[in-house]
Structures are given as structure tokens and as C-alpha cells.
Chains A and B, each alone.
Chain A
Amino acid sequence: QQQVRQSPQSLTVWEGETAILNCSYEDSTFDYFPWYWQFPRESPALLIAIRPVSNKKEDGRFTIFFNKREKKLSLHITDSQPGDSATYFCAASDGTGGLSGKLTFGEGTQGTVIS
């Protein structure tokens, strides 16, 4: 059973547009939701993260919207740039049951920004 699901599988937007990436989860004990991005032949790197005490987290052009009741979150990337082309992973962890670094990842969204 996939605990963290992402959609769409791939997303192409024009430069300057807003990209919206979706994520949902099953486990109600998850209490930390980081988004990682990964460029080809590189390792994943933390982009932005949110805790359920907030329903929004913003960092520059990147914003997470979180809906605890529906167990859904989304990543909005405004003014998309070609350099944003990467695979985006939604992840979740339950820090109360063990190490918070035990992350459950979604399958990823392949994002492409066309100039």
C-alpha cells in the first residue's frame, strides 16, 4: 500500500506560470511533510517542509498548502523558471514513533519548465 501518493506523474508548464503539485497521505500519525527535489544524476535535496500545526508554508516562489482533514497537501511554484525542472518528491515522517529521518516518499512528479 502506497502511503504517500503524488499527482500528476509529470507536469509541464511555461516559464512564468504557476505549477501545482499534489500529494496525499494515508497515515494520520505523519507529522512532518518535506518536499524534496532531485535533478538528474543528483541526490534529493530539501526544498521546503511543513508541520500540521500550519496550513501554509511559504519560501520565496515555493508554497505548501496543507489540509489536515483531507490528508492532502500541494506545492505551488509561482513564476516557474527553467532551472526548476526537476523531479519533486513529497515525503512524510512520524517523529513520535522513531527517527524523523525515516521518510516515506511518494513516487514523484517530473516537472519541466519550458522557456
Chain B
Amino acid sequence: DPKIIQKPKYLVAVTGSEKILICEQYLGHNAMYWYRQSAKKPLEFMFSYSYQKLMDNQTASSRFQPQSSKKNHLDLQITALKPDDSATYFCASSQDEGSNTEVFFGKGTRLTVV
């Protein structure tokens, strides 16, 4: 059974629209992340959360907004979608204790903006 659940698996959106990518983890981890992977760029860190608090934001655009309603939830809201936002978005988690712990990735949401 997948321990990090991402929904939906595939998503097609119209330019200018808004979408929410869902992520829930059942590994009991305290830290959660969003990464993006596209044909143009390697795996790219976007956000990190620890105990539902934003720890780091490497996303230049405010169109990307993470939302954490529970410790094991970290959704990603994307507004004013652009074709360049087309990518696979991976949610990840770790039991971060400040020293080199394994990061587990979800299956990803493949977003296509047309």
C-alpha cells in the first residue's frame, strides 16, 4: 500500500485556471515537502514543512501556495496556471531529526496545462 498518497494522478488544466494537488502521508513523519520534475529541469525542491510550519520556500512565484490542514497533509494550490507549470509534482516526507534522514516520495501528480 502506498504510504504517501497523491491525488489526482493525472491532471489537465486550462491556462489561467486554479488547481489543488492533494498529498497525505501515513508514515508518521513530521516533515513534508513538494518537489517538481519537468523535462526542462531536474528534480527541484519547492517547499518544506515541519509540524505544519513552513520551513523553506524556494519557489519564486506566489502562485504556488502550500496548505497544511493536518500534520500528515500538505496540499499544493496553484493559481493562474501557465503552460510552463506543466510538470510532475512529487510530495515527499521524512522523519526529520536534523541529521540525514531518508526522504520518501509519493507517486506524483502529472500536471499538464493547455
Contact = CB atoms under 8 A, between A and B. Distances in A.
B101 interface: yes
Contacts of B92: 101
A107 B42 contact: yes
Interface residues of B, number: 27
Given A32-B100, A44-B105, A101-B103, A108 B33 contact: no
Contacts of A114: none
Most buried by B among A44, A45, A49: A44
B90 A46 contact: no
Interface stretch (B14-22, B44-52, B64-72, B76-84): B44-52
A34 B94 CA distance: 14
Given A99-B94, A99-B96, A100-B94, A45 B105 contact: yes
A103 B45 contact: yes
B99 interface: yes
A68 to B, nearest CB: 15
B43 A105 contact: yes
A89 B42 contact: yes
Interface of A: 31-32, 34, 42-46, 49, 51, 89, 91, 93, 95-96, 98-108
Q: Is the interface of B mostly helix, strand, loop or mixed?
A: strand
Interface of B: 31, 33, 35, 42-45, 48, 50, 55-56, 90, 92-94, 96, 98-108
A42 B33 CA distance: 17
Contacts, number: 71
A44 B43 contact: yes
A63 to B, nearest CB: 18
Contacts of B44: 105
A93 B100 contact: yes
Given A44-B90, A46-B102, A100 B42 contact: no
Contacts of B102: 34, 46, 49
Contacts of A103: 35, 43, 45, 103
25 contacts: A34-B102, A42-B107, A43-B90, A43-B106, A46-B104, A49-B100, A89-B42, A89-B43, A91-B43, A93-B100, A95-B99, A98-B48, A99-B50, A100-B94, A100-B96, A100-B98, A100-B101, A101-B33, A101-B92, A101-B94, A102-B33, A102-B48, A102-B56, A103-B43, A106-B42
